[in-house]
């Protein structure tokens, strides 16, 4: 299975739009800095060096200046916009299997087909706070032709760092 799939540059918009200290609340408007941690990376044919390089690249790009973004606070669930953008980032067609989330919790399962990487099952969980969020995304890839499978799991957090530039 050839994985063109998700590089740091194709997943970054998704991660930046999916949106943590204190009790659960909708994140306040402002500029946020995101931090990404790869917790699982298992692709057929990837050496340990390949995994280390990809992990370093994705974590660095997603956590650097490119990881800054603004939430305007106009929509209660704005921090969860990743779910609505999944189809655009993955390509193909994504269907929501279940969405048990609230304005402050993400609990979403999706199935995407026809992507450049075959079929992809996506699970997103997380919670938001007045000053940020904590989330996890799990991707399970399956090539319908070769039956090869792959996994990618990411944890990301964001903290409010100030007001949005006007």
pTM of the entire predicted model: 0.76
Residue 92 has which token pair? 């193909």
Give first-to-last CA distance, the chain, whole Å.
Answer: 45
Count CB atoms within 10 A of the CB of residue 36: 24
Q: What is the pLDDT of residues 101-122, one digit of tens each?
A: 888 888 989 898 888 878 999 9
Q: Per residue in 60-87, pLDDT tens?
A: 876 676 678 888 766 556 656 655 565 5
Distance, CA of 6 to CA of 125 (rounded, Å): 19
pLDDT (tens digit per residue) in 48-65:
999 999 899 888 876 676
Please give the structure tokens belonging to residue 42. Answer: 């298992």
Question: How far from the centroid of its chain's Cα atoms is residue 105's Cα?
Answer: 15
Complete edge-to-edge strand list for the sheet that includes strand 149-162: 68-71, 30-42, 149-162, 132-142, 118-129, 105-115, 93-99
Give a three-class secondary structure readout of 55-66.
HHHHHHHHHCHH
Q: How confident is residue 7, by pLDDT bands cut at 50, 70 and 90? A: very low
């Amino acid at each position: 299975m050839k994985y063109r799939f998700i590089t740091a540059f194709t997943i970054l918009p998704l991660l930046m739009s999916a949106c943590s200290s204190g009790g659960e609340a909708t994140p306040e408007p402002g500029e946020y800095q995101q931090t990404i941690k790869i917790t699982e990376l298992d692709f057929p044919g990837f050496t340990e060096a390949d995994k280390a390089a990809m992990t370093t690249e994705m974590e660095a790009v997603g956590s650097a200046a490119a990881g800054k973004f603004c939430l305007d606070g106009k929509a209660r669930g704005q921090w969860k916009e990743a779910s609505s953008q999944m189809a655009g980032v993955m390509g193909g067609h994504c269907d929501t299997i279940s969405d048990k989330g609230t304005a402050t919790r993400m609990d979403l399962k999706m199935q995407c087909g026809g992507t450049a990487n075959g079929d992809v099952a996506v699970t997103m969980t997380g919670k938001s706070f007045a000053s940020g969020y904590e989330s996890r995304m799990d991707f399970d890839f399956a090539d319908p032709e070769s039956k090869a499978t792959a996994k990618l799991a990411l944890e990301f957090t964001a903290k409010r760092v100030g007001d949005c530039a006007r």
